[in-house]
């Protein structure tokens, strides 16, 4: 009795806190439906226009939307309870992989997802398929560097040639990669990461880092207010600041190309519809519409062949083939391996020393 | 009586006791009984550093809040009623703004291109901007600002109950105002000092957003370790063990304080 009550109560709580779109009444609706979760804000709005609404229309289904900045704890809780309420989640690829290994995420049958099956191997894994790309790039103030701006992580590390205040993300992912590139490792030879070498290189730059930022908004503010002269930041954040009129720019050279992916919760209430939606969501045309609404690159590279994205626009996107060639493609498989997890744990010790 | 409080008790049971108990349970039970998470806290020195830093900051914040808050409470108590309303309103006003907004407001004031540095450079006091934020200093300043009301209000409530006659009696016996203050008023206001200090100290132990935004990444307080552990260890137990240790420290503090002063005064303002 107690457990049952606790259970219902838990659901009521989840419904109240996440269910902005009225999950309670959906049982009565006859048409197929799924609950899709992303990270909210302008990003989810752009998806709604480019991907979600068109997919719902084409498949004749209802897509209930939810949003949460960090889906991982909620995925654990929902699947742990045995009765998840979400179906499809858009979350950093590493969580899809880690979730898959822990039995929290459904294994995908790519024969039912032809759009994903047609994507390059590096863009998918047994549990998820790339949904959109962003990049951790070297951004800089054009006021401090009107010309001869830093153009590589080696430049970022060179405090004599490029004096100025610096910021990095307070997280090992992408930061260790940047350190290794600064130390001379080629972007396509990074994995498996030489963790010792990366931390040694980071120790070198540590006294010159003014801020270790934690949120994307913070990184944007630092650049916008001139609090730092150069930093690692996500490309979309930098271009948003530039659009507001700040004299800032970034280079894709040695950027770290990262993705979020779509994955399906283990025991999702609408599994079949979720698989259908997954296929539709990575359709090249829908995917091509995404960068027309926000500064992120399509997860499906075929989007660049549709003609929907004009060449000028394509040149600005992180996953455009020529831009992608200058960057390092993040290996989420390495980061969710034991070595990757150990590197993540080591970070806190590094920060507090 | 029980009927009246039972809805509140039920809410506390369902929303606080059960979830916290469940989290505490997870910290010792995961596919069997385990003390792994506690062993980790004891053996890895990042935890020790974080707890030490958190207590250090909390102590510092409490002392600053007391030094700043006592005169304010004293003034609010000494002036006519109409003015004390104004003073208390000013103390409470920032309460209506979210912690996040206030953190950003402090950034606008303290950062390199912020108001304070700009002004100091304008009047030529400094050549290079001072590092006022993205460090422990900025964290402490903003935290004191947020917690100041928790110091002022208990102080004010205690001072209100100190009869003015006592001061007049002291004066009539020839004591100077300073003497009556230190011998009569200050000792009588000590319960308020203890109450306010306990509130500020305990609240500060759990601060998260402020050090996260203003600490520059170096000020790693315990709450930040809790959130980090959720991400790192894929088990709530790893995070809740940290929270349990923090909770136990808070309970210990309350216990020690309760030896000196009735807890009603700290929590309820009797």
pLDDT in tens, A59-107: 999 999 999 988 988 998 899 889 999 999 999 999 999 999 999 999 9
Contact at CB, B217 and A348, closer than 8 angstroms: no
Shared domain for A182 and A222, answered yes or no, is yes
Task: Identify whether residues A198 and A280 lie together within a single domain.
Answer: no
The model's pLDDT over B3-28, given as tens digits with 9 standing for 90+, comes to 888 899 999 899 989 988 988 898 99
A155 and A252, same domain (yes or no) = yes
What are the tens digits of pLDDT across the range A158-193?
999 999 999 999 999 999 999 999 999 999 999 999
Shared-domain flag, residues A126 and A51: yes
**In this structure, is residue A2 part of a structural domain?**
no
| Residue B231 with chain A: CB contacts under 8 Å | 72, 344
Q: Above pLDDT 90, what percent of chain B?
A: 51
Token couple for A196? 């010792």
| Superfamily the domain B23-267 falls into | MetI-like (1.10.3720.10)
Residue A52 covered by a domain: yes
Chain B residues whose CB is inside 8 A of the A72 CB are 230-231
Please name the member of A102, A170, A210 whose beta carbon is closest to the beta carbon of B234. A102
Identify whether the C-beta of residue B135 lies closer than 8 Å to the C-beta of residue B215.
Answer: yes
Do A192 and A145 share a domain, yes or no? yes
Q: Are residues A336 and A232 in the same domain?
A: yes
Of A213, A227, A348, the CB nearest to B111: A227
The CA distance from B33 to A316, in Å, is: 53
Question: Residue A279: which CATH number?
Answer: 3.40.190.10
Q: Residues, chain A, total?
A: 353
Q: Which residue of B has its CA nearest to A340?
A: B232
Of A51, A82, A2, A4, the C-alpha closest to A266 is A82
Contact B153, B91 (CB under 8 A): yes
Of the candidates B216, B228, B230, the beta carbon closest to that of A348 is on B228
CB atoms under 10 Å from CB of B132, counted, come to 20
- Cβ neighbours of A165 in B, within 8 Å: 112
Same domain, A161 and A237: yes
- Residue A223 Cα, gap to closest chain B Cα (Å): 11
Residues A173 and A236 in one domain: yes
Q: What percent of chain A has pLDDT over 90?
A: 82
Residue A225, both tokens: 């207010």
Name every chain A residue with its beta carbon within 8 A of the beta carbon of B115: none
Is A103 domain-assigned?
Answer: yes
Report the C-alpha gap between A312 and B255 in whole angstroms.
Answer: 67
Of A10, A24, A109, residue with least CA distance to A64: A24
Burial bucket for residue A342 (CB in 10 Å: 0-12, 13-18, 19+):
exposed
For residues A81 and A117, membership in a common domain is answered with yes
A270 and A156, same structural domain? Answer: no
The pLDDT confidence band at residue B265, using thresholds 50, 70 and 90, is: low
Decide if pLDDT at A16 tops 50. Answer: no
Q: Where are the domains of chain B?
A: 23-267
Q: How many CB pairs under 8 A join A and B?
A: 56
Residues A106 and A184 in one domain: no
pTM: 0.84
Contact A210 B134 (CB under 8 A): yes
Does residue A47 fall inside a structural domain?
yes
Tokens of A320: 């455009």
Map tokens 């659901």 to a residue: A11
Residues with Cβ within 8 Å of B74's Cβ and at least 6 positions away in sequence, in order, are B155, B159
Distance from CA of A125 to the nearest CA of B (A): 20
Nearest CA in chain B to A342: B232
Which residues, 6 or more positions from B262, have their beta carbon under 8 angstroms from its beta carbon? B270
Distance CA A339, CA A333 (A): 10
Q: Which residues form the domain of A217?
A: 136-256+332-352
Q: How many domains does chain A have?
A: 2
Q: Do B18 and A73 touch (CB under 8 A)?
A: no
Cα separation, B219 vs B217, in Å, equals 6
A240 and A115 assigned to the same domain: no
The more confident residue out of B262 and A282 is A282
Of A51, A25, A27, the C-alpha closest to A38 is: A51
Instruction: Give the ipTM of the model, two decimals please.
Output: 0.81
A189 inside domain = yes
Which DSSP helix (H) or strand (E) runs through A309?
none
A352 to chain B, minimum CA–CA distance in Å?
6
B53-84 tens-digit pLDDT? 999 999 999 999 999 999 999 999 999 999 99
């Amino acid at each position: 009795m107690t457990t049952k009550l606790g259970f219902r109560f838990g659901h009521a709580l989840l419904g109240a806190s996440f269910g902005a779109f009225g999950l309670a009444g959906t049982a009565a609706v006859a048409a197929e439906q799924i609950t899709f979760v992303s990270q909210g804000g302008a990003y989810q709005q752009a998806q709604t226009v480019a991907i979600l609404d068109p997919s719902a229309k084409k498949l004749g289904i209802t897509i209930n939307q939810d949003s949460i900045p960090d889906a991982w704890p909620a995925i654990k809780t929902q699947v742990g309870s045995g009765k998840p309420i979400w179906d499809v989640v858009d979350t950093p690829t590493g969580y899809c992989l880690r979730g898959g290994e822990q039995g929290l995420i459904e294994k995908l049958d790519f024969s039912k997802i032809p759009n994903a099956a047609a994507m390059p191997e590096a863009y998918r894994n047994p549990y998820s398929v790339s949904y959109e790309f962003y990049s951790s790039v070297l951004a800089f103030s054009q006021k401090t560097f009107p010309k001869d701006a830093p153009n590589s992580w080696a430049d970022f590390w060179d405090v004599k040639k490029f004096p100025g205040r610096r910021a990095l993300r307070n997280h090992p992912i992408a930061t260790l990669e940047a350190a290794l590139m600064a130390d001379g490792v080629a972007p396509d030879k990074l994995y498996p990461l030489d963790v010792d070498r990366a931390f040694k290189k980071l120790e070198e730059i540590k006294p010159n880092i003014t801020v270790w930022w934690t949120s994307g908004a913070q990184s944007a503010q630092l650049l916008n207010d001139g609090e730092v002269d150069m930093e690692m930041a996500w490309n979309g954040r930098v271009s948003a600041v530039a659009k507001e009129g700040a004299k800032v720019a970034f280079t894709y050279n040695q950027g770290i190309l990262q993705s979020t992916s779509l994955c399906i919760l283990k025991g999702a209430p609408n599994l079949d519809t979720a698989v259908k939606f997954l296929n539709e969501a990575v359709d090249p045309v829908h995917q091509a519409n995404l960068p027309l609404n926000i500064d992120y690159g399509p997860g499906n590279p075929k989007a660049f062949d549709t003609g929907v994205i004009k060449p000028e626009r394509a040149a600005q996107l992180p996953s455009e083939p020529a831009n992608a060639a200058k960057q390092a493609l993040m290996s989420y498989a390495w980061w969710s391996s034991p070595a990757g997890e150990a590197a993540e744990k080591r970070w806190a010790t590094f920060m507090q020393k | 009586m029980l009927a009246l409080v039972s809805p509140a008790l039920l809410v506390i049971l369902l929303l606080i006791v059960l979830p916290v108990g469940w989290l505490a349970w997870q910290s010792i039970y995961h596919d069997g009984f385990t003390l792994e998470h506690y062993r980790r806290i004891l053996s890895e020195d990042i935890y020790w550093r974080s707890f030490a830093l958190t207590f250090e900051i909390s102590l510092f914040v409490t002392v600053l809040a007391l030094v700043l808050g006592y005169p304010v409470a004293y003034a609010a108590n000494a002036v006519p009623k109409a003015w004390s309303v104004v003073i208390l309103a000013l103390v409470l006003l920032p309460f209506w703004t979210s912690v996040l907004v206030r953190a950003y407001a402090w950034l606008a004031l303290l950062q390199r291109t912020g108001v304070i540095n700009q002004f100091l450079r304008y009047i030529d006091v400094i050549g290079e901007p001072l590092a006022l934020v993205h460090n422990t200093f900025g964290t402490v300043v903003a935290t004191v600002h947020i917690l100041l009301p928790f110091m002022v209000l208990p102080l004010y409530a205690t001072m209100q109950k100190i009869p003015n006659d006592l001061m007049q009696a002291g004066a009539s016996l020839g004591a100077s105002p300073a003497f009556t203050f230190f011998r009569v008023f200050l000792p009588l206001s000590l319960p308020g000092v203890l109450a306010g200090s306990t509130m500020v100290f305990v609240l500060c132990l759990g601060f998260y957003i402020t050090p996260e935004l203003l600490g520059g990444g170096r000020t790693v307080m315990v709450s930040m370790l809790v959130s980090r552990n959720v991400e790192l260890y894929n088990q709530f137990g790893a995070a809740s063990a940290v929270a349990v240790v923090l909770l136990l420290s808070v309970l210990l503090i309350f216990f020690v304080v309760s030896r000196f002063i009735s807890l009603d005064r700290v929590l309820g303002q009797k």
